[in-house]
Chain A
Amino acid sequence: MVEHYFRHEYGRLVSVLVRHRGLQHLEAVEDAVQGALMTALTAWVANGVPDNPSAWLYRVAHNHLVGVLRKERGHEHILDSAADQGADNSAEPVSSAFAGEMRDELLRMLFVCCDQTIPAESRLVLALKTLCGFSAGEIAFRLFTTEANVYKRLARARERLRQGEVDTQTPPLESLRSRLPSVHSVIYLLFNEGYLSTHEEHAIRAELCEEAIRLGTLLATHPVGAAPPTFALLALMHLHAARLASRQDATGGLLLLEEQDRSLWDREHLHQGATWLERAGHGDVLTRFHVEAGIAAEHCFAPSFADTRWNEIAELYAMLERIWSQSYPTVGLVTCRGQPAKLFDANHDEATFPDGDGPCLTPACEATVRAFDGSYRRAPRAPAPHRQR
C-alpha cells in the first residue's frame, strides 16, 4: 500500500510544485519530493499516518524545496509572498481560468512534458521519470535502450526546461491536440509496466495499471482527449486489467493464458472495456490502439482458450504489422498460426512467415514456432548464434 501510494503522490507533488516554482526548477523539485517521501517513510512508521497525508507531504516537500532553492541561489527573495501563494497546505489551488484548463495537475504536467520543443524520444523519458516515478533502468528496459541513453535523453529534456523555453501554463487547444500521441504513449507504457513488470518481487503491479486507467479516464473526459484513439486505449487497458487477478498462482508465479481461470476475470473491467470499445469504434481513423484493443477483446470475450478465434486475432496482427512494423505483431501473428491445427485452420507444416524488412522477423518467427513444437531443446549452444525468446 505504501509503495503505490507514494508513486501516485510523487507525480502529483512534482506537478503541483513545478506549477508554482517553474519548470526550470524541475530537478530541485524532484529532489524535494523524494526527500519528503523518504521523511514520510520514517515519520509515519514512528508516529502513524497523518490525517491529511497529501497535505503533510506537500508541506514537507515545499519546505525542502524552498531550502534547496535558497541554497542554490543564495537569494532570500525566493521566499517572497508572491511565490508563497501556493503554500496553502490544505488544498491545491484549482485554476479554472479558461475552458481548456485541466483540473488534474498530473495530467496537465503530462501535456507540458510532451512539448514539441523537446526531442521526441526525450519526451517519453521525461514524463516517465518525473511524473510516473520510473527508474532509469525501467525506462531503458521498456524502450529497448540502455540506461546511459536514457540519462542522455533526460539531460536533453532538462536542458530545454532549464532554458525556460517550455511553459507551465496550459498550452492552447491546438498545441494540446498535437501532443496527444505522446501523452497516449506515456499512459500506455505506464500501464504496460504494471501489466508485466521488471520489478524484483512483483511481476504484476496493479497500482500502475490503475493509475494509467485513471489518467486515461481523465483524458477521455477532457475536450482534447475525448476522441476514439483515447477510447481505444482505455478499452485495451480495461480489458487487460480484467485478467490481472488470474495471471498469478498462489505463490506469485505467472500463469500462461491457457492456464488462467477465466472465472476470475473482473466483470467490471470487462464491461468498461466493452463500453469504451464501442465508443472507440467511430470515425474514420484507425490507430494501433484500436487494433490492440480488438486483440484484447478477442481474448477477453472468448469462452475458453480452445474457443479463442485465433484466425481473427491473426488478421488483427496482420493489420497491426502494417501500421506498426515491429516484432511484437509478427510474434503475435506467428503465435496464432502456431496454434495446434485443430484450433487454427492452417497446415502447421506449411505455415508461411510474413515477409518484410523488419529487423526481428526471422528470429521472432523461429523462436515462436520452436516454443510450440518443443524444438527449443535442440537449440545450438554457443558459439553458434544465440537465440532470443
Chain B
Amino acid sequence: MQQMFAAYKAWMEKFKDDILDMGDKLKSDGRLVTASGVADGPFVEAKEVVGGYMIVAAESYDRAVEVVRACPAVHAPGALLEIRELAGAKM
C-alpha cells in the first residue's frame, strides 16, 4: 500500500510547478481543474484534528447557536463552542 501511495505522490509532483506558477501560463503537461461552489466536505484537519470547525448559515447569532447545538459533535464532554460571524462572506 505504501508503494501505491508513493507512486501517487510521485505523479502529483508534476503539478507542483503549475501550482506555484499560478498566474503564468500553465505548463502544457498538466492541467488543474479549479473547483467552484461552496459546500462542506470530510476535512480531517477541520473536523478531527481541531475537533469540529463548521460553517453555518443563519439569520442571527442566536439562530446560529440553535443550529450548532443540534449537532451531536458539540456535546462531547469539555467541548467548547465559539460562534463568529464571517465578515463579508459571500455564500
Asked if A367 lies at the interface with its beta carbon under 8 angstroms from chain B, I say yes
Interface residues of A in 332-387 (CB under 8 A from B): 332, 335-336, 359-360, 362-364, 367-368, 371, 376-377, 379, 382, 385-387
Among B61-91, those with CB < 8 Å from A are: 61, 67, 70-73, 75-77, 80-91
How many chain B residues touch A (CB < 8 A): the figure is 66
Q: A144-B57, A324-B35, A359-B89 are in contact. Are A256 and B49 (CB under 8 A)?
A: yes
Task: State whether B73 touches A274 (Cβ < 8 A).
Answer: no
In whole angstroms, what is the CA distance A236 to B41 when docked? 11
Listed residue (B10, B58, B82) with the most chain A CB atoms within 10 angstroms of its CB: B82
Kindly provide the distance from the CB of A355 to the nearest chain B CB, expressed in whole angstroms: 13
28 contacts between A and B (CB under 8 A): A120-B37, A142-B40, A146-B57, A196-B47, A198-B71, A254-B52, A254-B72, A254-B73, A256-B48, A256-B51, A257-B44, A260-B48, A274-B4, A274-B5, A277-B5, A278-B7, A278-B8, A285-B32, A286-B15, A293-B8, A294-B8, A296-B44, A297-B5, A318-B19, A324-B36, A335-B50, A360-B86, A389-B84
A142, B83: Cβ atoms closer than 8 Å: no
Chain A nearest CB, measured from B54 CB (Å): 8
B50 near A201: Cβ-Cβ < 8 Å: no
Which 8 pairs across A and B sit closest by C-beta, in order of nearness? Answer: A388-B84, A281-B11, A387-B84, A359-B89, A332-B45, A335-B45, A274-B1, A195-B42
Q: A359 to B67, alpha carbons, bound, how many Å?
A: 21
- In chain A, positions 308-345 with a C-beta closer than 8 Å to chain B are 312-313, 315, 317-319, 322-324, 326-328, 331-332, 335-336
**Taking the complex as formed, is B29 at the interface, i.e. its CB lies under 8 A from any CB of chain A?**
yes
- Say whether A141 contacts B67, CB under 8 Å: yes
- Specify which of A124, A198, A253, A368 is in contact with B50 (CB 8 Å cutoff): A368
Q: Which residue of A lies closest to B44 (CB)?
A: A299
Measured between alpha carbons, how far is A189 from B70 in the docked complex, in Å? 19
Which residues of the other chain, A, contact B80 by a CB distance below 8 angstroms? 376-377, 389
Main secondary structure, interface of A, reads: helix
Size band of the A side of the interface? 35 or more
Q: What's the nearest-Cβ distance from chain B to residue A152, in Å?
A: 14
Tell me which residues from 131 to 153 in chain A have a Cβ below 8 Å from any Cβ of chain B.
140-146
Q: Which residue of B lies closest to A201 (CB)?
A: B72
Measured between beta carbons, the chain A residues less than 8 angstroms from B84 are 363, 367, 385-389
Q: Which residue in chain B gives the minimum CB-CB distance to A260?
A: B48
Is residue A270 contacting chain B, with contact meaning CB distance below 8 A? Answer: yes
Chain B residues contacting A141 (CB-CB under 8 Å) are: 40, 56, 67
Contacts of A253 in B (CB 8 A): 75-77
- Are B42 and A301 touching (Cβ within 8 A)? no
Task: Tell which of B22, B29, B84 has the most Cβ of chain A within 10 Å.
Answer: B84
The distance in angstroms between the C-alpha atoms of A271 and B2, with both chains bound, is 10
Q: Please judge, given known A-B contacts A141-B56, A257-B49, whether A192 and B11 are in contact too, CB under 8 Å.
A: no
Q: Does A162 touch B at the CB level, under 8 Å?
A: no
| Any B CB within 8 A of the CB of A247 | yes
**What string of 1s and 0s marks CB contacts (under 8 Å) between B16-32 and chain A?**
10110010000001111
Closest Cβ–Cβ distance, residue A264 to chain B (whole Å): 14
In the complex, chain A residues whose CB is within 8 Å of the CB of B38: 143-144, 326
What B residues does A140 contact at CB under 8 A? 57
Q: Assuming the A-B contacts A278-B7, A294-B9, are A389 and B53 also in contact, with contact meaning beta carbons closer than 8 angstroms in the complex? A: yes
4 additional A-B pairs beyond A323-B32, A324-B34, A359-B86, beta carbons within 8 Å, are A144-B56, A146-B59, A281-B7, A290-B12
